[in-house]
């Protein structure tokens, strides 16, 4: 089940989500693992952080991502399994022009098929969310070194956006987009999403 939440994640998920964000940003920026720098303190409680923690920019970025909920229209999307546990989260920014998926984090080990299924469910939920809000575009920012993420986004009908080279070099990501605007047939009639699925 996919939920869109405008509040912080349950406290019991704080550590695992911070660890996933830490790995995500470490891989994104090509910074060695925490084994080489000492284990950080995975908490959003700044009073519990050491001086070394405050100097760890990856940890600070991870805490900032987790604490960004409700800031500048940022929301979380959670994937809940049948037993209620959260197995994946996505962070999105909702604007008039698009819903922008900053990242999707998988909190458990999943194979390709499972990741693809979860991502597809998240995309479908966000597509309907965008349509309900009259937002014309869904965008997803994928790390350039995430081959699985790129395959999944292309399988789900997204198209690569050509960006200025300085943008992608700074962020080390590719941006993909998918239009949420209605499709029109040759007679000019508007077709809904279900109708277009049967048209070749």
| Domain positions in the chain | 2-196
Q: CB-based contacts of 80: which residues, under 8 Å, 6+ apart?
A: 1, 2, 3, 86, 87
Secondary structure element (H or E) that encloses residue 94, with its range: strand 86-94
CB 102 within 8 A of CB 141: yes
Q: Which pLDDT value is given to residue 170?
A: 56
Task: Kindly report the pTM of this predicted structure.
Answer: 0.81
Which pLDDT does position 167 carry in this prediction?
52
pLDDT attached to residue 38: 62
Q: Domain 2-196 falls in which CATH fold?
A: Aminopeptidase (3.40.630)
For position 32, what pLDDT does the model report? 64
Per-residue pLDDT of the chain (200 residues; tens, 9 = 90+): 889 888 888 888 888 999 999 999 988 887 765 544 567 888 888 889 888 889 888 899 999 998 887 666 789 999 998 898 899 999 999 999 999 999 999 998 889 999 999 999 999 999 999 999 999 999 999 999 899 999 999 999 999 987 655 455 556 889 999 999 875 444 444 444 444 344 33
């Amino acid at each position: 089940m996919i939920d869109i939440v405008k509040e912080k994640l349950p406290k019991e998920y704080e550590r695992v989500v911070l660890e996933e964000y830490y790995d995500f940003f470490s891989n994104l920026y090509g910074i060695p693992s925490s084994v080489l720098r000492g284990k950080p303190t995975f908490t959003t409680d700044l009073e519990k952080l050491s001086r070394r923690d405050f100097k760890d920019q990856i940890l600070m970025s991870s805490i900032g991502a987790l604490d960004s909920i409700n800031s500048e229209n940022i929301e979380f999307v959670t994937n809940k399994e049948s037993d209620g546990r959260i197995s994946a989260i996505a962070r999105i920014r909702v604007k008039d022009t698009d819903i922008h998926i900053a990242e999707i984090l998988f909190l458990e080990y999943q194979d390709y098929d499972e990741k693809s299924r979860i991502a597809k469910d998240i995309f479908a939920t966000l597509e309907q969310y965008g349509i309900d809000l009259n937002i014309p575009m869904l965008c997803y920012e994928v790390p350039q070194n995430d081959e699985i993420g790129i395959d999944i986004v292309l399988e789900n009908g997204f198209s690569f956006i050509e960006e200025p080279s300085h943008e992608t070099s700074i962020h080390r990501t590719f941006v993909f987009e998918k239009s949420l605007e209605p499709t029109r047939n040759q007679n000019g009639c508007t077709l809904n999403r279900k109708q277009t699925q049967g048209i070749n």
